Amino acid sequence: MGNSIAIDGPAGAGKSTIAKLLSKEMGYIYVDTGAMYRAIAVYFAQNNINPDDEDEINSAVENVDITIRYEDGVQQVILNGVNVTGLLRTEQIGNMASKTSKYGAVRSKLVDLQRKIAENADVVMDGRDIGTTVLPNATVKIYLTASCDARAGRRFDELVAKGEQCDLEAIKKDIEARDYQDMHRSISPLKQADDAVLVDTSEMSIEQVIVRLKEIINEKAG
Ligand code: DC
């Protein structure tokens, strides 16, 4: 087992930005577990699988093979031999991933893969259940969160910067729905692990968050 830093938290809290930067600074690999749930969601979307039908999901999962590789330090997700990394970050796939990540068959397939990766490398791994389920003995556990307003505001700014039309209230509603779905499923719901350190980034810059996380890592692992 290598060293592992588990970062969990709700959608839009800045987990992936922070985990990427931190992994670079520490020389660890970054494992984006949300991308794996999104890759399975791509399979379901491409094959017209009904996300509300667990039997259909269970048999579809048997036909899915997900692997990870790194190109220039950037995680690539391979779905049945095809690199689908470029297809993962759409609202449609995010919603499909949120709906289908509640199923045991989906979760156990991906949790196994995540544990195997952490057995062989030092990792910064982000997701919803890393500290509670995937790596209960992680070296350091962080629960990264921010108010719904702050998360919606950041998403709004991102979309505006890309030149996309968007509505702040609709983004807020979407974030609330995603939080509810992730926190209320019966298997591995999003919650802070008892031994995780809470970091609320609502009023913090990216640089401040990195400084705070390094302090926590030095205290815990130091
Ligand atoms: O972090 P993200 O938006 O890429 O994740 C997409 C969905 O995948 C999220 O709504 C819930 C699910 N997910 C999960 O259930 N467990 C994880 N460890 C990571 C993501």
Give the span between the Cα atoms of 87 and 129, in whole angstroms.
23
Q: Is 155 in the pocket of ligand 1 (CB under 6 A)?
A: no
Least-confidence region, from 113-117, 130-134, 162-166: 162-166
pTM: 0.94
Which residue has a Cα nearest atom 18 of ligand 1?
A: 127
Give the span between the Cα atoms of 213 and 218, in whole angstroms.
9
CA of 163 to the centre of ligand 1 (A): 26
Specify the pLDDT at position 164: 87
Please give the full DSSP string across 121-154, using - where no structure is assigned: S-EEEEESSIIIII-TT-SEEEEEE--HHHHHHH
Residue 49 zone, left/alpha/beta (φ > 0; ψ -120 to 50; rest): beta
Write the burial class of residue 36 (CB in 10 Å: 0-12 exposed, 13-18 middle, 19+ buried).
buried
Q: Is 129 in the pocket of ligand 1 (CB under 6 A)?
A: yes
pLDDT band at 158 (very low <50, low <70, confident <90, very high): confident
Q: For the chain, what percent of residues have pLDDT higher than 70?
A: 100
Q: What is the mean pLDDT of residues 54-68?
A: 97
User: Residue 8 CA: which ligand 1 atom is closest?
Assistant: 18
Q: Is 98 in the pocket of ligand 1 (CB under 6 A)?
A: yes
Could you report the per-residue pLDDT of 1-13, keeping only the tens digit for each? 789 999 999 988 9
Bridge partners (DSSP) of residue 123 are 4, 29
